[in-house]
């Protein structure tokens, strides 16, 4: 077998914000580090993030501090977050933003010349460091340029298909070059997963093709566990028209900067959907909401800026009740509320996106928007301080990791998550590698087995077309495990997933190994299926509604479930096993925060 072999201390899988930040930290701690990524460097899904990086820097509101950010994050996640992750995140985010400036990032400024911060849903104070509405691009470019300056090895357009382990933990990873189809093995005592999310299992999504849940699935296969998989965030505002762009994100900054949601009757319907949990901090009248933009001290927030799960459900209900737009969404109107100049200045990418893709001028007319699958809160269960998974030598950071966001993520907390936990994972991975470096090997047999599995779709003839199977999976998840869920539908989804598994075992692809997207998809599909199964199983099990998980048959939150995590693991027969685990409880001094900050 033709095989390229490499040796490193730390191999990072994924080159988005978390992966690059982890690689930089591992390198700076003396580890021989490589990054492996499916796309070209600088194209990772992080570039799509628009709004900003949440960090309590207090540049605009001196009242802001990590305790308020911690509280907002926990409340946004409906208290199911791992408290320790939410604490570290809130405490360390400001330093992670500041160091980006030392690496060349150019954020928008306040009048005093400091990093400007913008309002976002669920955040009490204007807190998001940003660059117009292209903050993700700035983050990725800054980290990319830093990675290149440090001379870290990057394997671009290279897909990892398997993690390699022995009895003591991780020994490396196996994959192929997308360009040539040739196999590569990296021997390494530490592997950091930073592969992002799972959105490609859904029909309407803001996620790119890379989001196949491969990191979640690789971790599970290697013996690690996944937590909170039932919580999938549907971003309230995706484009709905034309069909080919359906799902593409419309940034929350549109609402943060003054945009409001209206139904077909012209009503600001969000006032009808304020949950008791947030009533105290939400404006009751349109006048109060409008005053808030200029005077945040004496007014409460507009309901358009409630956490994403609340807004997505409200839009869903309006459309179902027949008050939607011609294309099945609701109106997002900033045109009638802000000057054309202000809109173009604050939201240049959105202006461009609607103009080019939908022929809509957002300075003159309202946008049509609806929910789109955006983010998975669930992911690899990790130790909060080191991001270590249950398999020694395996680490996970960013969207692929679970726990930080509980049942719902606040906007802006993703980019800060990538930086805070990417850095921690890189550090811990470097430390772990030093302890184990001379004691690992990659047995030929395991490598040959990985190669055989990867080539199987070529050996079969007359099997299923991978594109057809992907389409059916996306339809299943969209129809049966979407925003609003019921037991019979999820049971049906699990049956269909079982049938799809059989079809995946019978895929065949045409052509040869060189840059063959059909083959690539055939190798992604088993990951997408196992992740979909985890989501459906956990969602069926959790008999309550909370954050990104809404059960029509169990519409309320439940006190027992408030203390319970669901953990997925791989059963000996290869199926997904589910266990209940108590939610870690925060120490008293943190619990007090929820009383002191009203």
Partner 1 sequence: MTYAASFRVWRGDVTGGDLQDFTVDVNEGEVVLDVIHRLQATQAGDLAVRWNCKAGKCGSCSAEINGRPRLMCMTRMSTFGEGDTVTVTPLRTFPVIRDLVTDVSYNYDKAAQIPAFNPRPREADGSHRMQQVDVERSQEFRKCIECFLCQDTCHVIRDHEGNKGAFAGPRYLIRLAELDMHPLDVTDRRDAAQDDFGLGYCNITKCCSEVCPEGIHLTDNGIIPLKERVVDRRFDPLTWLGSKIGRRPKD
User: Which of 5, 320, 352, 435 is the binder for partner 1 (CB under 8 A)?
Assistant: 352
Task: Report how far residue 194's alpha carbon sits from residue 400's, in angstroms, rounded to the nearest whole number.
Answer: 6
Per CB under 8 A, 357 contacts partner 1: yes
User: Which of 21, 27, 32, 43 is the binder for partner 1 (CB under 8 A)?
Assistant: 43
Rounded to the nearest whole angstrom, what is the least distance from the CB of residue 53 to partner 1 in the complex? 15
Residue 115 contacts by C-beta under 8 Å, 6 or more apart in sequence? 57, 59, 97, 98, 101, 107, 108, 109, 129
Rounded to the nearest whole angstrom, what is the least distance from the CB of residue 517 to partner 1 in the complex? 6
User: Which of 28, 166, 187, 209 is the binder for partner 1 (CB under 8 A)?
Assistant: 209
Task: Report how far residue 527's alpha carbon sits from residue 547's, in angstroms, rounded to the nearest whole number.
Answer: 25
Q: Judged by CB, which is closer to partner 1: 318, or 464?
A: 464
Active site residues: 308
Site mask, partner 1, residues 307-346, x = CB under 8 A?
A: ----------------------------------------
Q: Please, how many CA atoms are within 13 Å of residue 105, restricted to the half-sphere of its CB?
A: 30
Task: Report how far residue 555's alpha carbon sits from residue 537's, in angstroms, rounded to the nearest whole number.
Answer: 18
Binding range to partner 1, per CB under 8 A, among 33-41, 166-174, 194-202, 577-585:
33-41
**H or E element, residue 372:** strand 367-376
- What secondary structure does DSSP assign to 317-329, as a single string? HHHHTT---TTSS
Binding range to partner 1, per CB under 8 A, among 243-251, 362-370, 374-382, 418-426:
243-251
Per CB under 8 A, 149 contacts partner 1: yes
**H or E element, residue 166:** strand 158-166
Rounded to the nearest whole angstrom, what is the least distance from the CB of residue 281 to partner 1 in the complex? 30
Q: What's the longest Cα–Cα distance across the chain?
A: 71
User: Which of 2, 62, 102, 573 is the binder for partner 1 (CB under 8 A)?
Assistant: 102
Q: Are the CB atoms for 551 and 541 separated by under 8 Å?
A: no
- Other CB atoms within a 10 A radius of the CB of residue 217 amount to 22
User: Which of 8, 83, 202, 241 is the binder for partner 1 (CB under 8 A)?
Assistant: 241
Residues facing 169 on adjacent strands: 166
Binding range to partner 1, per CB under 8 A, among 376-384, 413-421, 464-472, 564-572:
464-472
Per CB under 8 A, 58 contacts partner 1: no
Sheet with 226-227: strands ordered across? 379-380, 226-227, 564-570, 576-582
Q: Are the CB atoms for 535 and 230 separated by under 8 Å?
A: yes
- What secondary structure does DSSP assign to 18-83, as a single string? HHHHHHHHHHHTT--EEEE-SS-TT-SGGGG--S-EE----SS-TT--HHHHHHHHHHHTTT-S-H
Q: Judged by CB, which is closer to partner 1: 108, or 558?
A: 108
Rounded to the nearest whole angstrom, what is the least distance from the CB of residue 56 to partner 1 in the complex? 15
Distance of CA 573 to the CA centre of its chain: 29
User: Which of 141, 268, 344, 478 is the binder for partner 1 (CB under 8 A)?
Assistant: 141
Residues facing 155 on adjacent strands: 36
Q: Judged by CB, which is closer to partner 1: 94, or 122?
A: 94
Q: What is the 3-state secondary structure (H, E, C) of 575-588?
A: CEEEEEEECCCCCH
Near partner 1 in 359-398, by CB under 8 A:
none
Rounded to the nearest whole angstrom, what is the least distance from the CB of residue 339 to partner 1 in the complex? 18
Per CB under 8 A, 488 contacts partner 1: no
User: Which of 112, 560, 573, 589 is the binder for partner 1 (CB under 8 A)?
Assistant: 112
Rounded to the nearest whole angstrom, what is the least distance from the CB of residue 111 to partner 1 in the complex? 8
Q: Is 52 exposed, middle or buried (0-12, 13-18, 19+ CB in 10 A)?
A: buried
User: Which of 35, 248, 260, 477 is the binder for partner 1 (CB under 8 A)?
Assistant: 248
**Site residues, partner 1 (CB under 8 A):** 39-45, 47-48, 98, 101-104, 106-109, 112-116, 131-132, 134, 137-138, 141, 145, 148-149, 156, 179, 208-210, 241-245, 248-249, 349, 352-353, 356-358, 465-468, 471, 509-512, 514-519
């Amino acid at each position: 077998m033709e095989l390229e072999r490499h040796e490193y201390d730390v191999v990072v899988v994924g080159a988005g914000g978390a992966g690059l930040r982890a690689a930089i930290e591992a390198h700076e701690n003396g580890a021989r580090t490589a990054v492996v990524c499916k796309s070209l460097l600088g194209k990772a899904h992080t570039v799509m993030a628009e709004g900003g990086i949440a960090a309590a820097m207090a540049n605009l509101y001196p009242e802001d501090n990590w305790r308020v950010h911690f509280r907002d994050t926990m409340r946004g996640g409906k208290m199911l977050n791992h408290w320790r992750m939410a604490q570290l995140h809130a405490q360390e985010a400001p330093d992670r933003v500041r160091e980006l400036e030392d690496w060349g990032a150019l954020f928008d400024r306040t009048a005093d010349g400091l990093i400007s911060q913008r309002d976002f849903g669920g955040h009490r104070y204007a807190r998001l460091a940003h660059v117009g509405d292209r903050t993700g691009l700035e983050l990725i470019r800054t980290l990319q340029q830093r990675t290149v300056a440090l001379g870290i090895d990057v394997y671009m357009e290279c897909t990892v298909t398997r993690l390699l382990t022995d009895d003591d933990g991780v020994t490396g990873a196996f994959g192929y070059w997308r360009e040539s189809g040739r196999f590569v093995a990296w021997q390494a005592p530490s592997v950091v997963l930073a592969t992002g999310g799972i959105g490609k299992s859904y029909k309407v999504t803001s996620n790119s093709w890379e989001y196949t849940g491969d990191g979640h699935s690789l971790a599970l296969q290697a013996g690690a566990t996944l937590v909170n998989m039932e919580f999938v965030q549907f971003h309230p505002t995706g484009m709905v028209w034309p069909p080919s762009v359906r799902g593409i994100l419309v940034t929350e900054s549109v609402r943060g900067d003054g945009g409001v949601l209206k139904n077909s009757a012209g009503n600001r319907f969000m006032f009808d959907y304020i949950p008791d949990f947030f009533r105290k901090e939400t404006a009751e009248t349109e006048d109060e909401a409008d005053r808030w933009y200029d005077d945040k001290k004496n007014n409460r927030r507009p309901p358009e800026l409630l956490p994403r799960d609340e807004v997505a459900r409200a839009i869903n209900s309006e459309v179902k009740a027949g008050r939607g737009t011609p294309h099945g969404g609701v109106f997002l109107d900033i045109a009638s509320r802000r000057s054309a100049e202000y809109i173009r200045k604050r939201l240049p990418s959105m202006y461009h996106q609607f103009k080019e893709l939908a022929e809509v001028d957002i300075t003159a007319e309202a946008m049509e928007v609806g929910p789109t699958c955006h983010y998975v809160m669930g992911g690899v269960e990790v130790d909060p301080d080191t991001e270590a998974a249950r398999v020694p030598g395996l680490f996970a950071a960013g969207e692929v990791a679970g726990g930080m966001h509980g049942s719902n993520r606040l906007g802006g907390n993703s980019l800060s998550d990538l930086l805070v936990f990417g850095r921690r994972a890189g550090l811990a991975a470097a430390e772990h590698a030093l302890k184990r470096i001379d004691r690992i090997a990659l047995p030929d047999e395991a490598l040959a087995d990985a190669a055989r599995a990867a080539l199987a779709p070529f050996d079969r003839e007359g099997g299923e077309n991978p594109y057809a199977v992907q389409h059916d999976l996306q339809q299943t998840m969209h129809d049966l495990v979407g925003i609003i869920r019921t037991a019979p539908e999820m049971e049906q989804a699990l049956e269909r997933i079982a049938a799809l598994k059989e079809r995946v075992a019978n895929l065949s692809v045409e052509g040869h190994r060189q840059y063959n997207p059909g083959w690539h998809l055939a190798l992604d599909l088993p990951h997408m299926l196992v992740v979909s199964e985890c989501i459906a199983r956990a969602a069926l099990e959790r008999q309550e509604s909370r954050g990104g998980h809404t059960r029509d048959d169990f519409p309320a939150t439940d006190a027992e479930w408030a203390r319970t995590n669901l953990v997925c693991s791989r059963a000996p027969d290869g199926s997904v096993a589910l266990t209940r685990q108590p939610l870690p409880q925060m120490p008293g001094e943190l619990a007090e925060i929820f009383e002191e900050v009203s």
